[in-house]
């Protein structure tokens, strides 16, 4: 199974890019055989991408949307309805303030493709995409975001 993960900024209006993102996801499904989509569901980009994948499941019943957890969930945790399941990748205990960055690095290493909504040169999403670049991962950048 091939997989894809999304990285973008927490607070930014990605709605003008919705159709472009949807076309990229559809192309990955049709042409590249991607069936698993990983999503941290932490900001505007993640939410928009999760909604797109969830909606595409009506057309492509073989795809799944997996919520990437950075923290061990407590007993009150529930997976948002958009998701088919969740994954927790941290095998070793890390300080809470590093849990997201460590999780991002691990999911980058696991995924075959990265869809990047990153346009600022700082922050966790930026660091994750830089890590993907160092690993020579397939990174698809949202056009018109780069300045």
Mean pLDDT of 49-72: 96
For residue 7, what are its two tokens? 């990285």
Class of 2-141 per CATH? alpha beta
pLDDT digits (tens, 9 = 90+) for 83-96: 999 999 998 888 99
For residue 117, what are its two tokens? 């909504």
Q: Across the chain, what does the average pLDDT equal? A: 94
Q: Is 138 helix (H, G, I), strand (E, B) or coil?
A: strand
pLDDT digits (tens, 9 = 90+) for 134-146: 999 999 999 776 5
pTM for this one?
0.93
Q: Length of the chain in residues, anyone?
A: 147
Among residues 63, 56, 108, the alpha carbon closest in space to that of 84 is found at: 63
Where exactly are the structural domains of the chain? 2-141
- Nearby residues of 40 by Cβ (< 8 Å), 6 or more positions away: 6, 46, 67, 68, 70, 100, 103, 104, 107
**Confidence class for position 34, pLDDT limits 50, 70, 90:** very high
* pLDDT at residue 143, as a whole number: 79
* pLDDT at residue 147, as a whole number: 45
Mean pLDDT of 10-23: 94
What whole-number distance in Å separates Cα of residue 120 and Cα of residue 99?
A: 21
* pLDDT at residue 146, as a whole number: 52
Are 38 and 5 a contacting pair, CB within 8 Å? yes
pLDDT digits (tens, 9 = 90+) for 93-143: 889 999 999 999 999 999 999 999 998 889 999 999 999 999 999 999 997
């Amino acid at each position: 199974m091939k997989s894809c993960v999304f990285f973008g900024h927490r607070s930014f209006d990605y709605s003008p890019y919705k159709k472009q993102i949807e076309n990229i996801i559809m192309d990955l499904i049709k042409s590249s055989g991607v069936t698993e989509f990983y999503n941290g569901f932490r900001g505007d980009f993640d939410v928009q991408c999760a909604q797109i994948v969830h909606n595409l499941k009506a057309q492509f019943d073989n795809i799944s949307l997996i919520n990437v957890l950075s923290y061990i969930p407590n007993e009150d945790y529930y997976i948002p309805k958009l998701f088919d399941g969740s994954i927790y990748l941290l095998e070793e205990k890390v300080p809470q303030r590093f849990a997201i960055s460590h999780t991002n690095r691990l999911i980058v290493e696991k995924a075959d493709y990265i869809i990047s909504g990153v346009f600022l040169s700082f922050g966790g999403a930026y660091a994750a995409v830089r890590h993907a670049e160092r690993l020579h991962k397939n990174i698809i950048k949202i056009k018109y975001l780069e300045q």
